[in-house]
Structure 1
């Protein structure tokens, strides 16, 4: 497969499509959501997220943070800030204003044709447990990558 790296401007266009009520499919780069999303491999489907709608626990919003577009795990709120942490990250938590959340991850499409409904209660429960085990990520992530686990 030929790999193309696009600028963050491409994601600005995806954000605009979401604001207009359209669903977008994106091939995400990077490993910040591993093991739930494999960067450069899994295709994700993002749906619009109305600004007045409450975010479901452990969902994965599509948002703008420090001029970049990202999809990370929603881990809670502090005041007016929504807190986000990538599943493949050990410590960095992004503080995001609710108005900067544009969409929410709906489906992950794997290369083998299978799909993962990201609204499924069992998938969200796995995400919660993965968050609770974050103190072990430094050791678990290299093992998962070596064994090609997801």
Structure 2
């Protein structure tokens, strides 16, 4: 085995995120890769995000957070708050809203990159588009179903 492969040994998801939590607890900013498609079109697989520790006063609608959810980890947008319960949703998730306790939030995204390009995930335009996607999810779900049916008939 060459040195490069040895340096890239696989670790479990739990071990990885335990290390992320530890670094954040030390006050460090942590860069992690985005996995999956739940945050499309804002974030896609292969993008990288910078995480910082969270402060409830800084977290407002639209803040993207990393949270522990049902034994796994999710990187989703804050879409609601009821006391200490936060409601999270992926931009590309048309149905599910995850409800987590405030303590389940590990960090919040401060910056995102696609390659070397800084993504403007918190610009006014990006936040408006995220809000529209979230508010019109039921309509988008129906529209998507109709499009799929039309495509199946061809």
**TM-score normalised according to structure 1 size:** 0.78
Deviating more after overlay: 94-103 vs 114-123: 114-123
- Distance apart, 1:123 and its partner CA: 2.1
* Structure with the higher fraction of residues in helix conformation: 2
Q: If you compute each CA radius of gyration, which structure gives the higher value, 1 or 2? A: 2
* Distance (whole Å) between structure 2 residues aligned to residue 129 and residue 69 of structure 1: 25
Cα distance 1:133–1:20, how it changes in 2: closer, same or farther (>3 A)?
Answer: same
Number of residue pairs aligned between Structure 1 and Structure 2: 136
Write the distance in 2 (CA, Å) between the matches of 1:5 and 1:43.
19
Alpha-carbon RMSD across the aligned residues, in angstroms, is: 2.5
Task: Decide whether aligned partners of structure 1 residues 5 and 43 sit closer, same or farther in structure 2, where only a CA change above 3 A counts.
Answer: farther
CA distance in 1, matches of 2:68, 2:134: 22
1:108 aligned to which of 102, 105, 112: 112
How far apart in 2 are the matches of 1:121 and 1:60?
15
- Any gaps of 5 or more consecutive residues in structure 1? 144-150
Of 60, 68, 71, which aligns to 1:64? Answer: 68
Equivalence for 1:30: 36
Kept in 2, the 8 Å contact 1:59–1:124? The answer is: no
Name segments (4+ residues, structure 1) moved above 6 Å: none
Structure 2 gap ranges (5+): 1-8, 149-154
Q: TM-score, normalised by structure 2?
A: 0.76
Q: What residue in structure 2 maps to residue 134 of structure 1?
A: 137
Highest RCO, 1 vs 2 (Cα 8 Å, sep ≥ 6): 1
Q: 1:5 to 1:83 in 2, by over 3 A?
A: farther
Residues 19 and 102 of structure 1 are in contact (CA less than 8 Å); yes or no, is this contact kept in structure 2? no
After the TM superposition, which of the residue ranges 116-125 and 82-91 deviates more from structure 2? 116-125
